[in-house]
Structure 1
Amino acid sequence: MSTDYLLKDEIEKEKIDTSCDTDCELHRVTMEEANAYMNEKKKAAPMLANATTLCILSLVPLFLVSTLNDGLAIGIACTILLGMVALAVFIFIKTGIKLSPLQYLEQEPFETEYGVTGLVKEKNQSYQEHYSFSLACGVVLCILSVIPLIIAGCMEASDYVCTLCLAVLLILVSIGVNILIRVSTIKSSYDTLLQEGDYTKKEKLVKKKTETFTGVYWCLVTAVYLGWSLWTKQWDVTYMIWPVAAVLYAAMYGIVRMIMKLEK
């Protein structure tokens, strides 16, 4: 077994963050804890990816029957939607509970015992090529997903054909997102243990302060979407709130972070 990670760990000890004073005691992550965390995240990756895919695909049956003006068909489609979302929520909750004992690694600063950092760096480097390739494939699928809808629009296709193209869009997006979540979940386990990227000590502090904003924002978006859709019955139009909300969220999140920095 390679011992390069032990040598790498020696180098890392020279770069210890001195921002915490000598009286500050941080949890020391053992090799067993690190391996347990990486293994659990690896198991959780397909579960989280599939649950997200269920949420995206849950809209497909509703879109397919939205142009039929058939109350029974729409009712069945809504039932399927709620069933798929319920199953997805069950998976999210079950996976979250399983990961909760080790969730402090993503929320609190910590130190690692000898050899842990080097081991994780070695795993991270060996995973980088697969991660980069899968990330590119997922993003490309999401970009290409709009092509059928654009072609249908240019050809002035019927509403039903456009709805079919919209369903194809959601299917392609669900596949792309599935790939992205699978590899990102595993990659995040390495970043978490290395306290890099979105899991540095500063980022953890920012996340703690902004998690309320994130929760309230998406609850409001969901409420607006459901209210608008149920009021107008135009499910094939109201879905546009999600890409708009995603772009708006990125802008508002950036503003919140900037305000927090100014307050400091």
Structure 2
Amino acid sequence: MILADKIALLRRQQGWSQEELANQLDVSRQAVSKWESGASIPDLDKILKLSGLFNVTTDYLLKDELEQPDARPGASVEMPEESHRRSVTLDEANAYLDTVQAVRKKLAAGVGLCILSPIALLLLGAWADGTASEDRMAGLGVVILLVVVALGLLLILPAAFRLEKFEYLEKEELDLAYGVAGIMERKRQEFESAYRRSITLGAVLCVLAVVPPMLAAAFQLADFWVIAAVSLLLVIVAGAVQLFINAGMVQGSFDKLLQTGDYSLHEKWTNRRVGWFAGAYWCLVTAVYLAVSFWNNNWEKSWIIWAVAGLVFAAISFALRAWVEWKNN
């Protein structure tokens, strides 16, 4: 039970309204309301007053794992031991969550545009295939591809820059201020159902994305319709990516603050040693994809590079992480 829930429970047990509790603490009713909703945390002197008013220990109020109060009035606050971890206040945590909420849709849209960027080139190339305007259409398609990628970067880069100042959350060991962990955990639980829906729907879309090309191949449609089917695949994948990024960034923000999942202390240690690999790998894959596609002018088939690259990335990442951990042990 987190601090917010404990204050509300203890107040109701005393039969007090929020205003009555506020009068005894010499604060506004709005302040008590914010404490109980988890929007803010009482100052230390107010924690001491709450301890005395409710006849419970400060340990009970501040430690989420304590579910039952130990009635020892006037209990002293234990000073935390000096820690080398980076302290994170509620204001910092909320500022990070607000930033994630502000940029996640832009990041998702930017990535989506990059995925959609080859569609014009594919369709124009297929439409003009074998005609006198084939080269002109191919050139136009490349121009559109570059413009769409540039638009995607205009969305991705500013959003990434806004998140840069919070990079320490995924690299350093954190020490959340009192009450922050409980508030973050409750927010994560409230978001959990939306996260599961988004990930499930995104996975379903990824499976359905391969249906149009398979149908085009099964019915032996003309080349133009095969390319159209591949373009539809990209559209569906782009939609799935929107779901993955929007939900994943919010879930990831809670994992970073609470140091769970991919951002546990153990994972942070490992990531500091292998984190370089993902960036280098995907830059190389992008270069190979563009080189092969431009060289062969076979964009309708070269997209398979991404599927193969994804499988290879998973295998190499797993092996690299296992090797780093084995070496450390």
TM-score when scaled to structure 2? 0.74
Q: Return the letter of the residue paired with 2:157.
A: I
Query: Aligned partners of 2:211, 2:61: CA distance in 1, in Å?
Result: 47
Counterparts of 2:272 and 2:159 in 1: how far apart (Å)?
21
Distance 2:4 2:280 in 1: 47
Matched, 1:158 2:211: no
1:10 corresponds in structure 2 to 63
* SS of residue in 1 equivalent to 2:64: helix
Q: Which amino acid aligns with 2:89?
A: T
Q: Quick check: 1:89 aligned with 2:184?
A: no
| Equivalence for 1:98 | 162
In 1: Cα distance, 2:166 partner to 2:283 partner? 26
Measure the CA separation in 1 of the matches of 2:4 and 2:301. Answer: 57
1:117 aligned residue (177, 181, 190)? 181
Distance in 2 between residues matched to 1:218 and 1:26, nearest whole Å: 32
Aligned identity (percent) is 33
Residue pair 1:66, 1:236 contacting (<8 A) in 2 also: no
Q: Which residue of 1 aligns with 2:124?
A: 65
| Corresponding position of 1:30 | 89
Query: Displacement, 1:211?
Result: 2.1
Unaligned runs of 5+ in 1: 14-21
Residues 75-100 of structure 1 show CA distances to partners (whole Å, capped at 9, x for unaligned) of 11111111111122222221111111
Matched, 1:178 2:231: no
Give, in whole Å, the separation in 2 of the partners of 1:39 and 1:113. 18
2:204 matches 1:140: yes
SS of alignment partner, residue 45 of structure 1: helix
CA distance in 2, matches of 1:160, 1:79: 20
Instruction: State which of 41, 45, 57 in structure 1 corresponds to 2:104.
Output: 45
Q: Which has the larger radius of gyration?
A: 2
What is the RMSD computed on CA atoms of the aligned residues? 1.9
Equivalent AA in structure 2 for residue 137 of structure 1: L
| Count of matched residue positions in the alignment of Structure 1 and Structure 2 | 256
Q: Please give the secondary structure, in 1, of the residue aligned with 2:165.
A: helix
Structure 1 residue ranges (4+ consecutive) displaced by more than 4 angstroms after TM superposition: 5-9
Secondary structure (helix, strand or coil) at the match of 1:11 reads coil
Partner of 2:296: 232
**Shift in CA distance, 190/234, structure 1 to aligned 2, threshold 3 Å:** same
TM-score, scaled relative to structure 1: 0.92
Kept in 2, the 8 Å contact 1:40–1:99? The answer is yes
Q: Which amino acid aligns with 2:63?
A: E
| CA positional deviation for 1:156 | 0.9
Check the 8 A contact 2:270/2:325 in 1, yes or no: no
Structure 2 unaligned blocks of 5 or more:
6-37, 42-59, 67-80
Q: 2:69 aligns to what?
A: none
- Amino acid corresponding to residue 11 of structure 1 in structure 2: D
Could you tell me how far 1:150 is from its partner in structure 2? 0.9
- Measured in 2, the distance between the counterparts of 1:12 and 1:262 equals 34
Q: 1:56 to 1:3 in 2, by over 3 A?
A: same
